[in-house]
Amino acid sequence: YNQIADILEDNDYDDGSYGPILIRLAWHASGTYDKSTNTGGSDGAAMRFPPEAEYGANIGLKIARDKLEPIKKANPEISYADLWSLGGVVAIQEMGGPIIPWIPGRKDADASVSTPDGRLPDASKGSSHLRDIFYRMGFNDKEIVALAGAHALGRCHPDRSGYEGPWTSSPTVFTNGYYKELLEKKWVEKKWKGPKQYVDKETGELMMLPADLALIQDKAMKPIVEEYAKNEELFFKDFAAAFHKLQELGVPRTGEEKVYKFKRTGE
């Protein structure tokens, strides 16, 4: 945990932190799960290999995998699958987010366990697509909205996702700011040659994707957004549970495993 925490801050990278891309790595390694076939999930770490490494949704994640490589070399006993999952937990906690329970025991596999492309969310789509993707993993509407709150962190890059810009004005601090921005700002379509996205009318410096705005256009999801915008404590509680569940997808468990709750560095 401490070794990962030590490599997060870097003034030469993005907004000064590798935290957001480590969360994206942990999430994309887990979000391939299909409950009906029990395939995908955070076991295996097949993103080390083609074809998964080359899927459009995973462009740029080599940066995160390479950043963790010295820690893997220093701790050969940890699997890549556990390291990536732990990296997401460390990043969330060190950037001020909730404590996320974590269980080791994921095993690495080869490219034969790669899932087909298209299992991760498409940012250009609406709420019915989000439900298709997240229900397939076993999540409900509340968990979809809670997990989306991680967009408080990080930014989009034209050379990776095709989109550009941060969702919030504090992209290295975990808050409920994403929900506040969604509700309080007026979002207008960005005038540019890239894919359809939105910017705040006031400054043009923040952005939202079509899948973000879908959360406040959907009758069932909008009240959850409103709830999290008002109550950060509730958001943190629900996010911690949903992210822990995400990290456990596809991992065989007996129920006897030790659950770790790490203290943030400096606490």
**Catalytic positions:** 28, 167
Angstrom distance (rounded) from CA 77 to CA 113: 21
Q: How deeply is 83 buried, as exposed, middle or buried, from its count of CB atoms within 10 A (0-12, 13-18, 19+)?
A: buried
For residue 148, which phi and psi values (nearest 5 degrees)? -60, -25
Question: Which residues pair with residue 39 across a beta bridge?
Answer: 34
DSSP, residue by residue, 149-167: GGGGS-EE-TTTTS--EES
Question: Hey, what are 12's tokens?
Answer: 């030469």
Sheet holding 207-208, edge to edge: 187-189, 198-200, 207-208
Q: How far is CA 248 from CA 40, 43, 156, 251, in A?
A: 11, 8, 26, 6
